[in-house]
Copies of this chain bind each other. A is one copy, B any other.
């Protein structure tokens, strides 16, 4: 039986942000999976539903879903809807690993410019792990 996330969807979008809306959606869904708010097999709101909920254009939602599918995080079943992938197997893609390293490097550099010590940044990381969900990670 298909689990339905029901009315408790927590997605929200900031129209004014410089981050593209479709990326905001992507990041929130992926974060939701890490947090456990979305479980494997969960049905996501349909393109129309979500676009109505967020008062944005359906195409924008569609783009977010398509990108997420390409990343292997969600999957669409024709005529039925879009779902969190059931058995996600992380593959150590060297490209994405390099991008992650670059991103983390940027974090370190920014931390320096904000006056954060190594210790403080490590603490920030630990806090995030605690907040996102200690069990899964």
Contacts and interface: CB of A to CB of B under 8 A. Distances in A.
Interface of A: 15-16, 18, 20-21, 27, 30-31, 34, 57, 70-71, 73, 75-80, 88-93, 96-97, 99-101, 103-118, 121-122, 124-125, 128-129, 132, 136-137
B129 A108 contact: yes
Q: How many copies make up the complex?
A: 4
Given A104-B125, A118-B129, A122-B122, A109 B27 contact: yes
A108 B34 contact: yes
A114 B96 contact: yes
A90 B115 contact: yes
A34 B114 contact: no
Q: Does more than half of chain A's interface fall in helix, strand or loop, or is it mixed?
A: helix
Contact of A104 (B27, B90, B124): B124
